[in-house]
Amino acid sequence: MKYNLKKEIPILAMVVLPFIYLGYLWNALPEKVPLHWNFKGEIDGWGNKDQLVLIILVLPVFVYIILQFIPLLDPKKKIEKMGNRFHQIKFLVVLTMSLLAIFILYTVQNQSGSNMKILFALIGFLIVGLGNYFPTLKPNYFIGIKTPWTLESETVWKETHKMGGRLWFFGGVFMILLVLVLPEELSFIVFMSGVALLTIVPVVFSYSRYKALKG
């Protein structure tokens, strides 16, 4: 897959955005800043502000690099056949990582506890977006619900991603609404339970469909 700079510019803009925001904040930040929060959003770790660069490198930059190299590692070139769909998924993932980085920098700037509801809602946004793409994904080794049974059978792959797409889309929307209206501790429980269900249900479904087809 050839690198198309013109096509990548919107994604690269998302990668650079947290760095621009950090540059804007830099002189106003104290030397010691909060760098870690517990599940309640309370600050439980401090560090030098230079370490903030690592945070925004790990989120959008590292994720972008990984997604850029995935097509080169695909032994059967299935990613290339996805065409613009893969590019859209890459934009969605990098956008979410950049928003997470900006949210972290905003929290650091205010020297406050982290609003975990916003964090959960951003991840929910990514889940909804991926769920929207699941039914259109072709079998591959890198993106989608990759179980031994979906990779073994194209029929199981299609059925699992059709079901999983609806589950992730509507489940993600439901999670976002709940975490925004519930108290923070309940939001954490709902979020973790939701992620567990969204992970386990497609795995069980793919196994049961595979066994039924082999029946």
Tens digit of pLDDT for each residue in 88-105?
Answer: 999 999 999 999 999 888
pTM: 0.87
- State the Cα–Cα distance between residues 87 and 47, nearest whole angstrom: 36
Calculate the alpha carbon distances from 180 to 38, 93, 157, 188, 204 in Å.
18, 21, 33, 11, 29
CA dihedral 25, 14, 3, 125 (to 10 degrees): 140
Instruction: Report pLDDT digits (tens) over 56-66.
Output: 888 899 999 99
Calculate the alpha carbon distances from 112 to 51, 103, 108 in Å.
17, 12, 7
User: By mean pLDDT, which of 9-23, 33-47, 69-83, 195-209 is the weakest?
Assistant: 33-47
| Residue 113 pLDDT greater than 60, yes or no | no
pLDDT at 51: 83
* 58 closest CA partner among 20, 101, 10: 101
Phi, psi of 120 (to 5 degrees): -65, -40
